[in-house]
């Protein structure tokens, strides 16, 4: 659409991208929605309006022109003088291009936040599942330590004492005896 549009082409109702599609809002932040908004933005960028075209005009006036072009049907737009119609459509495209850029950025941010939140929730669930998988882990460790301390001959003295250390095993047994059966670990499900 970089070439100039003739009046005959302008009068043609067969548009590549219907104006009602350009008017619609983004919707929920999904990849499909982001692609649709990006396609609308790309279409508007192909029109190649100069960036400084409306730089001297207040944005609120441009938004009014854009709203007028958005609300009027194509047949009503064609009833205006060609210069007026082109000005309304140019204002619509210029304003809409900025709105779609903002929407696209917002959608990407929302999608990234959703991905981050889902990843965080999945990580928390995996962590909790690993933590909760065996009930009474502390009690089992204390029982093992007590049994190893009470019967240190053989593999325990040869393999586990050098690995864990006799003092550390003794401290673990002492802690188990101090807390006794009243010790309960906090578990959430």
- The pLDDT tens digits of the residues spanning 59-86 come to 888 888 888 888 777 777 777 888 888 8
Calculate the average pLDDT of the chain.
Answer: 77
What confidence score (pLDDT) does residue 115 get? 93
pLDDT in tens, 92-147: 888 888 889 999 999 999 999 999 999 999 988 888 776 666 666 677 777 777 77
Percent of the chain with pLDDT over 90: 12
- How far apart CA 134 and CA 141 sit, in angstroms, is 12
Residue entry with tokens 């019967």: 151
Please indicate whether residue 154 or residue 32 has the higher confidence score (pLDDT): 32
What's the pLDDT score for residue 120?
93
pLDDT on residue 44: 86
For position 2, what pLDDT does the model report?
A: 37
Residue 182 DSSP class? G
- pLDDT at position 136, please? 67
Confidence (pLDDT) at 134: 60
Residue 182 is predicted with a pLDDT of: 45
Reported pTM: 0.54
Helix-strand-coil split of the chain, %, nearest 5: 70, 0, 30
CA dihedral (134, 135, 137, 142) positive or negative = negative
Gap between the terminal Cα atoms of the chain: 59
């Amino acid at each position: 659409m970089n070439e100039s549009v003739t009046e005959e082409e302008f009068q043609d109702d067969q548009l590549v991208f219907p104006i009602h599609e350009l008017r619609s809002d983004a919707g929920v932040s999904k990849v499909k929605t982001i692609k649709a908004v990006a396609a609308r933005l790309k279409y508007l960028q192909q029109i190649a309006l100069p960036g400084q075209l409306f730089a001297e005009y207040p944005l609120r006036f441009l938004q009014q022109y854009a709203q007028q072009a958005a609300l009027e049907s194509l047949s009503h737009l064609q009833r205006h003088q060609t210069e007026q119609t082109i000005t309304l459509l140019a204002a619509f495209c210029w304003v809409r291009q900025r709105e779609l850029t903002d929407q696209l950025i917002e959608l990407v941010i929302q999608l990234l936040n959703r991905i981050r939140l889902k990843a965080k929730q999945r990580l928390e669930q995996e962590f909790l599942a690993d933590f909760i998988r065996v009930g009474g882990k502390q009690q089992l460790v204390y029982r093992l330590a007590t049994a190893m301390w009470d019967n240190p001959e053989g593999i325990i003295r040869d393999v586990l004492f050098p690995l864990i250390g006799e003092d550390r095993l003794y401290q673990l047994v002492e802690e188990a005896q101090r807390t006794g059966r009243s010790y309960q670990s906090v578990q959430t499900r």
